[in-house]
Chains A and B, each alone.
Chain A
């Protein structure tokens, strides 16, 4: 149990997927303009990453590894993720239209979010079992959500500021991300 909490905290804060490993930067920079959209995307990412980690781990341990097809993992994982996002989308559409409405447009974006593929591959690299993979996936999703929601908060403040022309747009967002990243470096001091 302890080791699972350790994995979640490590994935969410210490090795933050966005600020430390630079995965999912595109949506991190692109969608963080509004707090509400960021939170919705974050929710969708937590959900998809957790499920994708579980499915990828099951597939790897039960199909790819026994058949000696480890080298196929990149191809298989990316297809699984793409299919999974489609299934999740169809499922949500039928079963809970309200959640679908909130997450709908963000779901397709997640297929191309490198954090999902990244964490599935890292889990294999770390030789995590099913439960550990799910914990790592969940932690990563939480880390992504924390980062994007915080950045959205910062950006809503920046918008009112009178910035020098060259800094407007991407540069100031990247500088904010750099400062956040420095702050998150503090978590590496967590004695676990």
Chain B
């Protein structure tokens, strides 16, 4: 398989950031009340991710190793600020719906994780494809979670009524507990189907899965011990 296409497949399916790597749980849980929010958040994160991967990949020989994390944070924070201002100007409805979670893209583990694990070791072309793949994987997962919560919690999908009005929607699903429940059930289904999440591998490898730190520490997963 062409290695550029392989990046897309990798991000979307093989190493889906949310469903397999279990990174970036905060936005996943927080903004998945509606499918549309999921798409909005996913695409905003994807934009930042593609650009940060590109910039970091271009600068990979310039940034000294010792200060690479602060440098990445500054790059990502600048890109997030630009994205935030653009969303505020052109998509005010989305800006209101996502609120504080737009600036918080800065601390989204997916972005620093990809910078550390991929972009600083590969050519700009591949890094951009990696950003697109990971971004799409994140968007799909967020939209899926958003769709499930929206259908169960408000009886609509993408704003259109799909459940009969006589059926009372289960409003807990659009409230905070519903987020935990829906993600839990998605992982249960994955486990039942035998898809191993990275979180499980990390726990098995003795890493307690704390975001970016963990991505950095447990970057190179040990050989899968079956």
Contact = CB atoms under 8 A, between A and B. Distances in A.
Give the interface residue-count category, chain B.
Answer: 35 or more
A182 B179 CA distance: 11
A162 interface: no
Contact of A175 (B109, B176, B184, B211): B184
15 contacts: A22-B26, A22-B176, A27-B210, A29-B209, A71-B85, A74-B80, A109-B213, A118-B104, A166-B189, A167-B188, A167-B191, A174-B183, A178-B178, A178-B180, A185-B177
Interface of A: 19-27, 29-31, 33, 71-75, 78-79, 82, 108-109, 112-114, 117-118, 121-122, 125, 165-172, 174-175, 177-179, 181-182, 185
B47 interface: no
Contacts of A174: 180-181, 183-184, 187
B73 interface: yes
A179 B70 contact: no
B29 interface: yes
Interface stretch (B34-42, B51-59, B135-143, B195-203): B195-203
B169 interface: no
Nearest to A116: B107
A22 B30 contact: yes
Contacts of A79: 70, 73-74, 77
Contacts of A171: 184-185, 187-188, 191
Interface of B: 22, 25-27, 29-30, 70, 73-74, 77-78, 80-81, 84-85, 100, 103-104, 106-109, 112, 172, 175-181, 183-185, 187-189, 191-192, 197, 199-200, 203, 208-214
Given A170-B197, A171-B187, A171-B191, A74 B84 contact: yes
Given A30-B214, A112-B112, A170-B197, A185 B176 contact: yes
Nearest to B23: A26
Contacts of B214: 30
Taking chain A's interface residues, is the majority helix, strand, or loop, or is none over half, making it mixed?
A: helix
A51 to B, nearest CB: 18
Contacts of A78: 73, 77, 106-107
B177 A178 contact: yes
B85 A181 contact: no
A174 B103 CA distance: 25
Contacts of A108: 213
B177 A112 contact: no
Nearest to B187: A171
A109 B114 CA distance: 18
